[in-house]
């Protein structure tokens, strides 16, 4: 399938540092920082952010980096690498905060973009490779959601994408020791981030490169077998000492449940059928505007065009080999696919490059439609301060006029400079993100009544508990964001307790899970998703329910394995 290296098509675009264009590229690099950083720490944590940050904070307080904990119990749902990263960020900032938790995501995204550029440059040339890198940052799901959250997925996706690219880079050259060695090293790292999905991506990507190069025999040769064993040996360096504290059978069961709970087996037949039909449209929506380029892939002869560039062809093959894992799994979040869409974007951008070179009708119509949208948005931006919710934004008219001038200038240049339209479109998207930071995030944060109630009731309960402290009754479900704000306000671990209750201490208990529990309520704690309040006060009835009732309540939020007591 692959073309010999010497026969790869030469780049037809002007050099990346051509006059004028280089200033657009410099502007894009400079705009990345305000686009990704303004108001980064403003929003209240969602629950998944609360989990990662709470586990990292407890690591710092206990000094136990081997066994992740949550409210003092072993946390079994994920390996600890992302928590280690957040712990470093908290330590460097001198405090745990929303900003400190989210900054590693931004840094991971920038590394993702740089990695995309470096691997694409040889095959696409400097300019198209730079656009490919910016497509990773500016696709809708990343630009307006995942880049602002303290979650594992951006870092995990960056490393998985790097695995796939290294398999291609070395595998297409027949350098199998390096192909398998480097990627199994990264597999160990990605496993320590997210568990079993790391192995799935590595396995499927190996099949993709072996199929493309027709090198199936490499699957059974020492290069593959020994590096695979080396990956297991690296993981053993962590899990052997970890097993002295935690039963690995429990860990394996928990990781398997976490990896399988969104699959067809767990979700049922009809939900799976509905998902299969909805998935293409839903994912295309989340990864706009770059998925608009799918119009090229749907045209006759697109595969023949892709095969003019072996890298673009491999990207599509790797995407198609990996995507069924999620296409056939209901209840999948778009962030689970962040490592796959840059592969699709690479193929689509190459097709776009060829259509733009020939100025095909589909290219001209697509460009005109995008320019029309850019024009309408630029005209509407000055009137954003008229929206009532933006009243809390400082200097709204100055910001809106500045944004309108920037967006209008980029749009005007887009009409005038057709050859530079791709980089100008990226600039336009970055300007929109800055506007989003200024005009959407502050009203959203101020209007998040349930999130504000979580933080305020957590701080109030901690203040009311006083010096005697605060505990969580058994497996009472404490939503992770609530748990984070409780712990952050207290400045120490708020532990789950299973017996020997202190009569002078406040406890939080779930009346839903334990209807017979008696707490002399002195205050209440709000839970955002349950939309209910838990009583907080002195425990009056502490008879433990049967153990088998507890088993269904855990789901990783309370493992029943206390650590360090």
> What are the residue boundaries of the structural domains of the chain, listed by start?
361-446
Q: Distance between CA atoms of 366 and 349, rounded to whole angstroms?
A: 13
Q: What is the mean pLDDT of the chain?
A: 89
Q: Evaluate whether 495 touches 58 at the Cβ level (below 8 Å).
A: no
pLDDT tens, residue by residue, 155-206: 999 999 999 999 999 999 999 999 999 999 999 999 999 998 999 999 999 9
Residue 558 has pLDDT above 90, yes or no: no
pLDDT tens, residue by residue, 503-540: 889 999 999 988 888 899 999 999 999 999 999 999 88
The model's pTM is 0.92
pLDDT tens, residue by residue, 346-367: 999 999 999 999 999 999 999 9
pLDDT tens, residue by residue, 426-464: 999 999 999 999 999 999 999 999 999 999 999 999 999
Q: What are the CA-CA distances from residue 453 to residues 277, 444, 526 (Å)?
A: 38, 14, 6
Peptide bond into 146 cis (omega under 30): no
pLDDT tens, residue by residue, 364-389: 999 999 999 999 999 999 999 999 99
Helices 341-358, 126-138: crossing angle, 10 deg rounding: 130
Please tell me the predicted confidence (pLDDT) of residue 439.
Answer: 97
Report the residue count for the chain. 565
């Amino acid at each position: 399938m692959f073309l010999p290296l010497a026969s790869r098509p030469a780049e037809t675009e002007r050099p990346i540092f051509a006059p004028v264009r280089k200033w657009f590229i410099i502007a894009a690099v400079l705009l990345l920082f305000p686009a990704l950083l303004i108001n980064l720490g403003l929003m209240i944590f969602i629950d998944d952010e609360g989990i990662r940050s709470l586990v990292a904070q407890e690591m710092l307080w206990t000094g136990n980096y081997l066994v992740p904990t949550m409210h003092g119990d072993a946390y079994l749902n994920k390996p600890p690498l992302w928590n280690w990263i957040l712990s470093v960020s908290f330590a460097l900032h001198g405090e745990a905060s929303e900003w400190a938790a989210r900054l590693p995501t931004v840094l991971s995204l920038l590394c993702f973009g740089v990695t995309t550029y470096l691997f694409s440059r040889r095959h696409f040339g400097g300019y198209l490779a730079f656009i490919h890198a910016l497509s990773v940052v500016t696709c809708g799901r990343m630009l307006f959601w995942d880049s602002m959250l303290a979650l594992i997925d951006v870092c995990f996706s960056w490393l998985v994408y790097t695995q796939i690219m290294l398999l291609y880079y070395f595998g297409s050259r027949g350098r199998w020791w390096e192909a398998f060695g480097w990627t199994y090293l990264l597999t160990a790292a990605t496993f320590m981030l997210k568990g079993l999905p790391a192995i799935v991506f590595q396995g499927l990507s190996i099949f993709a490169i072996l199929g493309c190069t027709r090198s199936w025999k490499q699957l059974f040769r020492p290069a593959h077998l020994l590096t695979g064993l080396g990956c297991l040996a690296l993981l053993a360096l962590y899990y052997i000492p970890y097993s002295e504290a935690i039963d690995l059978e429990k860990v394996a069961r928990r990781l398997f449940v976490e990896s399988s709970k969104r699959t067809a087996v767990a979700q049922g037949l009809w939900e799976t059928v509905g998902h299969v039909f909805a998935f293409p449209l839903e994912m295309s929506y989340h990864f706009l505007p770059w998925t608009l380029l799918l119009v090229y892939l749907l045209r006759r002869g697109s595969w023949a065009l892709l095969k003019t560039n072996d890298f673009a062809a491999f990207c599509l093959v790797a995407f198609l080999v990996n995507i069924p894992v999620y296409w056939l799994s209901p209840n999948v979040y778009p962030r689970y696919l962040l490592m796959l869409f840059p592969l699709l974007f690479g193929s689509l951008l190459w097709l776009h490059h060829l259509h733009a070179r020939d100025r095909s009708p589909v290219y001209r119509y697509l460009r005109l439609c995008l320019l029309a949208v850019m024009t309408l948005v630029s005209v509407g931006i000055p009137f954003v301060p008229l929206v009532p919710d933006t009243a809390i934004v400082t200097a709204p008219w100055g910001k809106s006029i500045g944004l309108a001038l920037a967006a209008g200038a980029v749009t005007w240049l887009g009409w005038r400079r057709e050859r530079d339209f791709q980089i100008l479109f990226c600039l336009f998207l970055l300007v929109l993100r800055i506007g989003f930071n200024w005009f959407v995030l502050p009203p959203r944060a101020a209007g998040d009544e349930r999130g504000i109630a979580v933080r305020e009731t957590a701080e109030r309960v901690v203040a009311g508990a006083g010096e005697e402290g605060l505990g969580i009754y058994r497996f009472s479900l404490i939503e992770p964001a609530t748990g984070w704000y409780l712990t952050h306000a207290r400045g120490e671990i708020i532990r789950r307790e299973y017996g020997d209750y202190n009569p002078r201490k406040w406890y939080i208990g779930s009346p839903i899970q334990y209807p017979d529990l008696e707490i002399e309520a002195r205050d209440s704690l709000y839970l955002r998703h349950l939309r209910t309040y838990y009583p907080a006060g002195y425990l009056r009835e502490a008879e433990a329910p049967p153990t088998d009732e507890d088993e269904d309540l855990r789901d990783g939020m309370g493992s029943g394995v206390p650590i360090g007591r």
